[in-house]
Structure 1
Amino acid sequence: MEWVETTGKSIEEAKSVALDRLGVADEEAEYEILEEPKAGLFGRTRGEARVRARVKPRIPRAKVERRDRRPRKDDTPSAEGAPRAPRAPRAKQPRQQEKKMSDSSENNDRPRRERPEGPPADPAQVAAEAEKFLIGLAASLGANGETAVNIDGNDIEVQLNGSDLGLLVGPRGSTLQAVQDITRVVSQRRMGDHDTRLRIDIGGYRAKRKEALSRFVTQVADEVVASGSARALEAMPSPDRKIVHDALTGRTDIATHSEGEDPNRRVVISPAAVTAAE
């Protein structure tokens, strides 16, 4: 797991920022203190605390001894021990290639048959398939997971809770997003195409991330207003950008917009006066 480096007014604040970026609990992370704030006049501190943190590496399980692999034909030496002569390259068959191209073009020109619409999938069954997959995924990592489901119409949220689930969250929820995408694919393969919207959360990460990110961007917005200068945040995925925009929607003294292309797309916070002048 890669190290992340963060700063804060104190060691604890720097650690808290690191945990937000890693998306794990304190007991699931390890730290290195790079720099401590220095004591100044009248008990004030000068400088910032700087720490490195990462998710604690897991000890891999002992591998079960595999059965002896049967020798392949290529592994057995020839009777005379002489190297085999290289095969001559096959001649291309342009007629067959032209036929394949023409067949593919004809297939593209043909109208596609629409899939017959079956009965709508039961959201409870979709959630059950997602639960089964997530519990099995946690078990494969040696963790015990419990699930909780919230269904609102076609919106399904499945929460996986338990210990040692930090690896399924990853830095800033990147692994969690991948787990959500895979769970959707698995449910579609088992249940067929359906119109439900499946959302996965692990260890309450999304709620923690939303709270921490909203608090952070509110502080940045105050600094932007005080300085009168726009500030670009670090690149973040679409769900996090939405949290930023939603957190600052009610403010009239600043404006937000996104710029760049994924995965380097970022939110820019600008003073309202600067935005109006532009």
Structure 2
Amino acid sequence: MNGSIRVSAKTVDDAITEAMIQLGVTSDRLEYEVIEKGSSGFLGIGMKQAVIEARRKPEPEPEVVEEEPVAPVEEVREEKEPAEPVKEKVKEETPVVEKKEEKPAEEQNKARELAEVQPQTVEAVKTFLADTMKAMNMEVEIETSIDEDGALCADLCGEHMGILIGKRGQTLDSLQYLANRVANKHQDGYVRVKLDTENYRARREETLKHLAKNIAHKVKRNRRPVALEPMNPYERRIIHSALQSDPYVTTHSEGEEPYRKVVITLKR
């Protein structure tokens, strides 16, 4: 590939994210070829990293994509001020959108105090996870603990955990959602379950923070907004949080779930 870079990481997905950071582009502007899929090896022995060769897509395309989010936002804001009825309408809708997007899980958890996790709840979650792993023909060890917030943490260890993580953690998130449903059926009060494997949550958070800062630098340099790829509410909050103290850029979300995305723009 002409003007390409070669990137290696633990998984193909991590390599793609790293390429996006290095090239300063979002996934819709990235072309890549998988050179090596990588493998976890046995107990970490013989592990091979995933390798991709990536490059930016031609420049004309990004300019159209990046300019699109600006027009509707500016038009809505301009129409808000002159006409009183419109102003009231928009003000009624805006808070609803904000509550719906970035804070649902966070606000629910703060509003609901976590109940003390009971032994039968821990066993029910472990049994559910063990049965699910067995159905997937995966041998997994499950370690549970209670974190400082009072949430039940389950760490899954075994081979081929990339399958369990899925694309950008989607499989792990779905399994976590089901584990939460199981936990809350077995005792009174609200119980929160957090699933992790191979320290994926912390690694993904660091990757997203790095991506946010690199894209913010690009926005400052080009003075154009950039729309990131669609993310779940938890990952969008990481982007917002990473840039909330930046004096030059601001962030907001656009679109409907599951295609809602963060847009980073230059402050006026």
The residue aligned with 2:117 is 123
Q: 264, 267, 276: which is aligned to 2:262?
A: 267
Alignment partner of 1:152 is 2:164: no
Q: Displacement of 1:200 after TM fit?
A: 1.5
TM alignment of 1:5-154, pairs within 5 A: 9-12=4-7, 18-19=13-14, 26-27=38-39, 122-125=116-119, 126-140=121-135, 141-154=137-150
Any unmatched runs of 5+ in structure 2? 18-36, 41-47, 58-113
Native 8 Å contact 2:251 2:263 kept in 1: yes
Native 8 Å contact 1:259 1:267 kept in 2: yes
Distance 1:137 1:262 in 2: 27
Amino acid at match of 1:27: S
Q: 168, 171, 187: which is aligned to 1:172?
A: 168
Change (3 A) 1:243 1:26: farther
Amino acid at match of 1:18: D
Distance 1:205 1:196 in 2: 22
Distance 2:260 2:140 in 1: 36
Native 8 Å contact 2:7 2:51 kept in 1: no
Q: Displacement of 1:205 after TM fit?
A: 1.3
Native 8 Å contact 2:145 2:152 kept in 1: yes
CA RMSD of aligned residues (A): 3.3
TM alignment of 1:181-196, pairs within 5 A: 181-189=177-185, 191-196=186-191
Distance 1:21 1:32 in 2: 9
Amino acid at match of 2:39: E
TM alignment of 1:243-254, pairs within 5 A: 243-254=238-249
Distance 1:201 1:146 in 2: 10
Q: 218, 234, 238: which is aligned to 1:239?
A: 234
The residue aligned with 1:224 is 219
Change (3 A) 1:183 1:15: closer
Q: Displacement of 1:48 after TM fit?
A: 5.8
Change (3 A) 1:171 1:180: same
Q: Which has the higher contact order (CA 8 A, sep 6+)?
A: 2
The residue aligned with 2:95 is none
Q: Displacement of 1:259 after TM fit?
A: 1.1
Q: Displacement of 1:268 after TM fit?
A: 0.4
The residue aligned with 1:215 is 210
Any unmatched runs of 5+ in structure 1? 1-6, 38-46, 50-119, 274-278
Amino acid at match of 1:264: Y
TM (norm. structure 1) is 0.56
Change (3 A) 1:48 1:128: same
Q: 197, 201, 204: which is aligned to 1:202?
A: 197
Structure with max Cα Rg: 1
Q: Displacement of 1:14 after TM fit?
A: 8.5
Amino acid at match of 2:205: K
Change (3 A) 1:184 1:220: same
Native 8 Å contact 1:138 1:165 kept in 2: no
Change (3 A) 1:187 1:20: farther
Q: 1:59-86 CA distances to partner (integer Å, 9 max, x unpaired)?
A: xxxxxxxxxxxxxxxxxxxxxxxxxxxx
Secondary structure (helix, strand or coil) at the match of 1:11 reads: strand
Change (3 A) 1:132 1:210: same
